[in-house]
Structure 1
Amino acid sequence: MIASLRFAPIAALVLLAGCTAIGGPKTDVSIYSPQTRIQADPDWPAVDWQLTVGAPDTHALLDSQRIAVRPSPDRLQTYKGARWADTAPELVQLALVEAFEDSGRIEAVSRWGGGRGDFGLFTDLRSFETVYVDGQPRVVVEIQARLVKFRADGGLVAARRFRTEVAPAGAGIEPVVAAFGEAMASINADIVGWSLVEGERALSEGAEGSGEK
């Protein structure tokens, strides 16, 4: 169901200042942007409502461009010499918007601040990191999602936690970034399908309650 994915370094090398402000050493930093296109499931409903996607809330380390790695359960570090193109929440928000657009099943979708739709999708980014289990890396993405209806009879429509794990082809940063792209595409497809179904269910129940035909 998911299209083939590759990571994409969007800038080969970016020179950043080192430890000292003047005359200090330079560190080469590679900038990465995972590619996360999805393919629509034919069972997803086509909807005529609009959706606004908020930026995920998360903890301080993930709210940055650093690429997180957990070598042991109680240690959270970052990969040296590598950065995301945006902060992790911004990457996730943009990827979700693009996933809804790629689905072709929704009238309009935008990021929060670009207008207000009929529904809002709000998320907490619980995990966005490489986790080592028995010495082997696994990319883990976990998102808590809430779908909210903005109309007069609005409120919380549904909430669900989504989680996916992908084993990279190797421990190096390039296969790890590729695995992040695969994991994000998989979890985004799950969130898109769930949101479309739950939004349609909420509108149907609202119409029945109001006596609309």
Structure 2
Amino acid sequence: MKPLFPLAFLLLLGACSILPKGEELVVYQLPASSAAPMNGRTVDWALQVNKPLASPLLDSTRIAVLPEGDRISAYQGVRWEDRGTLLLRDRLIDAFRNDGRIGAVSSDDSRLDTDLVLAGDLRAFQGEYRAGRVEVHILLEARLVQSGNRRMLASQRFEVRETASDKAPAQVVAAFGQAADRLAAQVLDWTLAQGARSAALSARD
């Protein structure tokens, strides 16, 4: 049996050499927000921001792209540092905390008692090729819900598009950051307005 050992070892080395190498990934985080803090009156209600519901491709670390028509794919060799739904949720939380007018903001991970819950469906979080350029498209159907009785107070569709300066993944990621900032600003203003309306109605009861 001993003469077989060197042969088996050589065969094993040969097999290792033809196995496919692991994919080398470049991992991106969503660029830091460039929004400036606001100085306004702090509201007396607390907000929980939930991870939005989404399709498996958007609720993943893959950077989705529509190269043509309705065909959806993902950039090869690059990934988000976290799932797209979590990236957007955390960007919204950062926007609320940076703004400062809602003093108590938490995520669904913390499971704290709050007055209102911001939830929704993420319909688009992807790059789309248009006339030879890449346009980042984010579409969120948001819902504002009372925590206690789960009654929906309001719903609103938010949609932004941002053209990347180049097709390279780094520039597309930069466009994602800009688009996320714009969408977060819109969601922030809407949430504050709806929260004020809810507080006024509660005060009348």
How many Å separate the matches in 2 of 1:103 and 1:48? Answer: 15
Partner of 1:129: 126
What CA deviation, in whole Å up to 9, does each residue of 1:84-105 have, x standing for no partner? 0000011111111111101111
Deviation at 1:48, TM superposition (A): 1.5
How many Å separate the matches in 2 of 1:167 and 1:90? Answer: 23
Deviation at 1:24, TM superposition (A): 3.0
Partner of 2:164: 168
Say yes or no: does 1:142 pair with 2:139: yes
Where structure 2 has 5 or more consecutive residues not aligned to the other structure, the ranges are 1-15
8 A contact 2:52–2:121 mirrored in 1: yes
1:19-168 residue pairs with structure 2 within 5 A? 23-37=19-33, 38-40=35-37, 46-114=42-110, 115-151=112-148, 155-168=151-164
Say yes or no: does 1:179 pair with 2:164: no
How many Å separate the matches in 2 of 1:196 and 1:45? Answer: 11
TM-score normalised per structure 2: 0.85
> The residue matched to 1:80 in structure 2 has which SS?
coil
What CA deviation, in whole Å up to 9, does each residue of 1:122-165 have, x standing for no partner? 0111100001122221000110100011246x611110000000
How many Å separate the matches in 1 of 2:62 and 2:109? Answer: 25
Q: CA RMSD in A?
A: 1.8
8 A contact 1:51–1:108 mirrored in 2: yes
Deviation at 1:40, TM superposition (A): 4.6
Specify the code of the residue in structure 1 equivalent to 2:125.
Answer: F
8 A contact 2:165–2:172 mirrored in 1: yes
Divergent runs of 4+, >6 A: none
TM-score normalised per structure 1: 0.82
Q: Which has the higher helix share?
A: 2
Q: Which has the higher strand share?
A: 1
Where structure 1 has 5 or more consecutive residues not aligned to the other structure, the ranges are 1-19
Deviation at 1:74, TM superposition (A): 1.3
How many Å separate the matches in 1 of 2:20 and 2:154? Answer: 52
How many Å separate the matches in 2 of 1:179 and 1:144? Answer: 20
Larger Rg: 2
Specify the code of the residue in structure 1 equivalent to 2:80.
Answer: W
How many Å separate the matches in 2 of 1:80 and 1:47? Answer: 45
Specify the code of the residue in structure 2 equivalent to 1:159.
Answer: S
Specify the code of the residue in structure 2 equivalent to 1:92.
Answer: L
Deviation at 1:45, TM superposition (A): 5.7
> Across the two proteins, how many residue pairs are aligned to each other?
187
8 A contact 2:133–2:164 mirrored in 1: no
> The residue matched to 2:171 in structure 1 has which SS?
helix
8 A contact 2:38–2:100 mirrored in 1: no
